[in-house]
Amino acid sequence: MANTLIFVDFPVPDPEVAQHFYEDVFGWTIKGRPPGDFHQVLPGEGLHIGIFNEQTQPPDPDPKQVAPRSPNQPRIYVLVENEPADYVDKAVSLGGTKLWGETYWKEFGGWHASFRDPWGNQIVVWHTGKPAPADESLR
């Protein structure tokens, strides 16, 4: 399926506390990847969810360049067929704002880029259709 919504992240000040909350409320399995920074929620069937530290904002390559969300807003991930940069460029041409260009996220083995739509929502485009970078410093 093309350009599928795959993931939604929730910003929190303390991912460890949020992990326990959601484990207790829903019985979800949650993995810290890495603990305290980004936690992957595995609810079984359906959409996966992430809990991320609002201070470090992974996977933002440089959280100092991306303005914090105010008030806190989830991030939406879309699994895309083509290079992430193609979608960011298209969004910018339609009034969106580029947050970062294509970057590899070693922990999850994929490429991502991000933009904010004209209404302030952050979209992360995710692509696994090409290999990891050969340069180890980019991993």
Cβ neighbors of 72 (< 8 A, separation 6 or more) are 10, 11, 12, 54
Give pLDDT tens digits for 29-87: 899 988 899 999 887 777 888 888 888 877 777 766 766 666 668 888 888 888 999 99
Of 3.10.180.10, 3.30.1490.20, 3.40.50.300, 2.60.120.260, which CATH number belongs to 4-130? 3.10.180.10
Instruction: Name the average pLDDT for the chain.
Output: 84
Domain coordinates in residue numbering, the chain = 4-130
pTM score of the predicted model: 0.68
What sections of 11-97 are H helices per DSSP? 15-26, 84-93
Phi and psi at residue 127, in whole multiples of 5°?
-140, 130
CA distances to 57, 98, 104 from 136, in Å: 23, 26, 11
pLDDT for residue 22 is more than 90: no
CA angle (76 as vertex; 17, 86 as ends), nearest 5: 140
What sections of the chain are H helices per DSSP? 15-26, 84-93
Bigger pLDDT: 10 or 126? Answer: 126
